Chain A
């Protein structure tokens, strides 16, 4: 398998409630609209091919893994590298491109969930990277150790904070309880983040020795940089404080999740119209309904397989004769 099948950060469709999906679509579209406007205005025509090819490079760069232990490997998401190389606005667009193509073509993350994934990997990944990297660079007075320390720390935090956001979104959707999702996602990504940090530093070391000019070390802050810096700080602080709280008191989140299901209560009377369907041999009615549901799925599936099999038989017959056209 070329691409690791497990990207815990790319949420597939079905796991988020429609409400959460729509909310994060709106946020992501707004942020993206601002970024598009900025890139269109501030950056030259030169940026367009650069961003496109760099997005392709990030995509390809995600294949460059290294063995950690027992079949696991570290690899790159790339938000931090994109932020350092292109600046925050263009990085948002590059990450949007990468994450969108992953969803559209490789089903790595869902389509309805794409707004949420864009928010986590594009917007959080870039703003948190930018905030941490520029802060450390300021402390280091743009010395070379600031680039490497800043890049590494930013890469680690961008992964971990984005994973906390994903866990919170899953908990708010009522898909995964907060007190399990947050420690699990956070814990896994604290490890994955180390791989991301190591590769990012490795890449920065290489670029520092080969093409120092690409790292924009002494350049002035881009326009709107302050706003992104504050945004990164706010997101990082908010998620870092909220996650342990939510994970210690999951009831609060579950209350919100229950609100999404309030329609169930409203429409309860209608439920009585539907005749009860019970699967024979199972006395527990709730369980019987679930089993009946799964049975129905299998039945439809079996019929479809049968039809497909018949069709295959036909097409094989056609292929036995050499085609003349």
Chain B
């Protein structure tokens, strides 16, 4: 926001004061996850806008602002709220550049929070990036740690196309003990990274599940197997080259995704691996995902809903043996 005066922020409680700044409530929240904290103090109420609870209103305003020359960052809070702003995202944001013959650019960033962070139940715990990746015209990225979160957020905001950033609520409170440079930097959209090299099996993680994969790789190492962990980071466009070159080395792949399984990013990667690395695979691709079921409120069942380190490790052993 310091670098580009055209950048604005909009969303529910992004500052948090419900319009009562004059009563001293300014910057009360800084967003549900405190990601936008302090912005209203530095950049003021004309660039940091607390909105009413109307996603279709403020996401639509974001699309219009982007078309007219601003660079909006819009926080839609939980990704499950897509149901009340799908028209703006799927029909306007994704298609305007195409429908106006390339004459309109939409440099807009949407951030949405995904996954169950503990007892948020069926409607506030979804992941759903798969349905966004389905649409042409949207770039979709999923950071997996503080370093990639900062770099991808900046890349998204500098990009001239609509970018959706999916932030896992299950990573928000985790201490990664990781160095994050103070200066601004970008991680390129469309690139995955290898976070651990190995030869026996490729583990593909997305957001939260990259952390699960790293922990599974540690468990596999104790049993004498070296897993390579690919951190997907970008789901649309997808870094096919990194995925396929890892698979061509290890000849086995386990894809770990906490989204619903059907027509998902996991399906897409599994299909891609089979179609483009068929002769290189020693075993069929394997998916470890959430079940095809709504997310339970019960904390016991919620634990079972998401791919665990144990499940991922077991899947790898099955593929290796």
Do the two chains bind? no
B-to-A contact residues, CB < 8 Å: none
